[in-house]
A = this chain, B = another copy of it.
């Protein structure tokens, strides 16, 4: 859980390359980073053990799966107590329409990123799964016109001024 402070340039380069394609072979990885394939294998195994690498996921096109409409739902819970929060979160996560869920600081307690077929589907989702729930005090829906993923989350980009 702590910040695993030590990352070689080699580690970072490996992460960068794997972010572009998680299926890059260790051979290619090795060639591009400048170490032996077996070393790459070792590095990646260590990175996995350290917890930096949480998984290798497929990025899919929601539109191609009949989910051409995406939206963000700001949800405000009524009492916002722990007993309500757990079940609410689990229910939302289990919805096939949910893509991501955030617990936020601020007036809106939760933000839910959903992908649906069309506006009728969105209306159904909001009515049946959100506003009909007792603990949900308010839901604000914002359509997503367009979205972009932003670079590879690397590097930390620090100078020598790291306060450990």
Contact = CB atoms under 8 A, between A and B. Distances in A.
Interface of A: 1, 3-5, 7, 15, 18-23, 50-68, 72, 89, 92-96, 98-106, 108, 111, 115, 117, 142-151, 153-158
A148 B91 CA distance: 12
A interface, over-half SS: mixed
Contacts of A59: 53-57
Contact of A145 (B18, B19, B61, B105): B105
B58 A103 contact: no
B56 A52 contact: no
Given A57-B57, A59-B57, A153 B103 contact: no
A92 to B, nearest CB: 7
